[in-house]
Amino acid sequence: MSGDDVTAGFARYFGLAAQAADAAPGRVNLLGEHTDYNDGFVLPTPIAAQTHVALAVAPDDVRRCSSAQCPDGADFGRYVFGCLDAAAERRLQAPAVWVYVDSVVPIGAGLSSSAALEVATLRALRQAFRWALDDVELARTAQRAEVRYAGVNCGIMDQMAASVGRAGALLFLDTRSLEHRLVPMPHDSELLVLDSGERRALASSGYNTRRAECAAAARALGVPALRDITDPSLCRRLEPPLDRRARHVITENARVLEAVRTADPHRFGTLMNDSHASLRDDFEVSTPALDCLTRLLRQQPAVHGARLTGAGFGGACVALVAPGECSHVAESTLAAYSAAGYRGRRLV
């Protein structure tokens, strides 16, 4: 799928030519899970799959949205129009627009299809209306759209990954200052992403509960955010489950900081395995399916490490794999996963 398809789709659906078109990718997070709303560190990378958006000023002054995947626009509209409203809050004005979306980013799998849509929409709007909006401010506006208009109280990782990330590199992001830099992938390794087949429901899941628990833990420890604690033994001062929630965030930040200093795929993989254990035992956002899939991945000799990626509660797993081995690993892991009674698929 390309930009040509989305402008052709726009013209076919609306019967007029698009005035601007742009795109943005989904992302997979390698390390630093549930750290972004604690002012911590993350390490995502964009995936090849992109969401394309084409738009034009509405000749009838009524805003409309459609997509190749869902012609009545029901699923996409609140994100698209949320971007317009979030931009208007920043005094970035646009007339009513007609918008057409074409996306191959899997929805509901934990690869941030919503951030891809928001960033693609804002890029197309920036182009059409010559907004003065840099890539970091664009990511902030996209996050605002998701929180305020789509009702998901997310952090900034996904929108920053889609806006300033580069394919083939890891984005090391400090979510407090938004300082960021690209770091190379670990040596001799490729990424494999498998869908567990379990759909996530982020807004209705425990995501907001985890956020509230982290905020309560930071308050009890007397710091603005858990990012400000580096000694995990301080968690002993907290009541359960806040002690476990805080320990995950503190140790996860340390794992990201170590990962950006190591080029060794084995060490990097071990940090991913440790991250999964922490998400399962301390943060309690894994599921039996995600535990099974990551365990099966780790049993493959070519796998350096594997973990759930994204918010958890279902969705996808990411593995760091020796070069040239991804197809084989995917096939044997998915066969064993089916034998265990689940149904997964390869996403990346």
Residues serving a catalytic function are 158
Shortest Cβ 37–ligand GLA spacing (Å): 6
**Which residue in the set 7, 25, 30, 33 belongs to the binding site for ligand GLA (CB under 6 A)?**
33
Q: How many residues does the chain have?
A: 348
**Which residue in the set 25, 310, 314, 344 belongs to the binding site for ligand GLA (CB under 6 A)?**
310
Shortest Cβ 18–ligand GLA spacing (Å): 29
The verdict on 157 binding ligand GLA (CB under 6 A) reads yes
The verdict on 154 binding ligand GLA (CB under 6 A) reads yes
Selection from 7, 27, 253, 35 nearest residue 142 by Cα: 27
The verdict on 36 binding ligand GLA (CB under 6 A) reads yes
Helix residue ranges per DSSP H, 15-112: 74-89
Nearer to ligand GLA, 73 or 110 (CB): 110
Nearer to ligand GLA, 52 or 200 (CB): 200
Nearer to ligand GLA, 34 or 307 (CB): 34
The verdict on 158 binding ligand GLA (CB under 6 A) reads yes
**Which residue in the set 311, 318, 329, 347 belongs to the binding site for ligand GLA (CB under 6 A)?**
311
Nearer to ligand GLA, 138 or 157 (CB): 157
**Which residue in the set 34, 200, 227, 247 belongs to the binding site for ligand GLA (CB under 6 A)?**
34
| Residue-wise DSSP of 87-133 | HHHTT-----EEEEEEE-SPTTSSS-HHHHHHHHHHHHHHHHHT---
**Amino acid identity at 303:** V
Nearer to ligand GLA, 102 or 158 (CB): 158
Q: Are 83 and 118 in contact (CB under 8 A)?
A: yes
Structure tokens at 7: 């402008």
How many of the chain's residues bind ligand GLA (CB under 6 A)?
10
Strands of the 180-184 sheet, one edge to the other: 41-42, 169-174, 180-184
**Which residue in the set 9, 40, 106, 155 belongs to the binding site for ligand GLA (CB under 6 A)?**
155
Q: Are 265 and 189 in contact (CB under 8 A)?
A: yes
Shortest Cβ 173–ligand GLA spacing (Å): 11
Nearer to ligand GLA, 34 or 128 (CB): 34
Interface with ligand GLA by CB under 6 A: which range of 29-37, 162-170, 231-239, 266-274?
29-37
Residue window 277-306: x/- pattern of binding to ligand GLA, with contact defined by CB under 6 A: ------------------------------
161, 240, 259, 312 from 227: Cα distances, Å: 20, 19, 17, 21
Nearer to ligand GLA, 157 or 272 (CB): 157
The verdict on 347 binding ligand GLA (CB under 6 A) reads no
User: What are residue 76's phi and psi, to 5 degrees?
Assistant: -95, -25
Q: CA-CA distance, 9 to 307, in Å (whole number)?
A: 37
The verdict on 315 binding ligand GLA (CB under 6 A) reads no
Q: Give bridge partners of residue 23 from the DSSP assignment.
A: 52
| Residue-wise DSSP of 162-199 | HHH--TTEEEEEETTT--EEEEEPPSS-EEEEEE-SPP
Shortest Cβ 33–ligand GLA spacing (Å): 4
Q: Are 32 and 251 in contact (CB under 8 A)?
A: no
User: What are residue 333's phi and psi, to 5 degrees?
Assistant: -65, -45
Which helix or strand (DSSP H or E) is residue 45 part of?
strand 44-57
The verdict on 142 binding ligand GLA (CB under 6 A) reads no
Residues that bind ligand GLA in the complex, under the rule CB under 6 A: 33-34, 36-37, 154-155, 157-158, 310-311
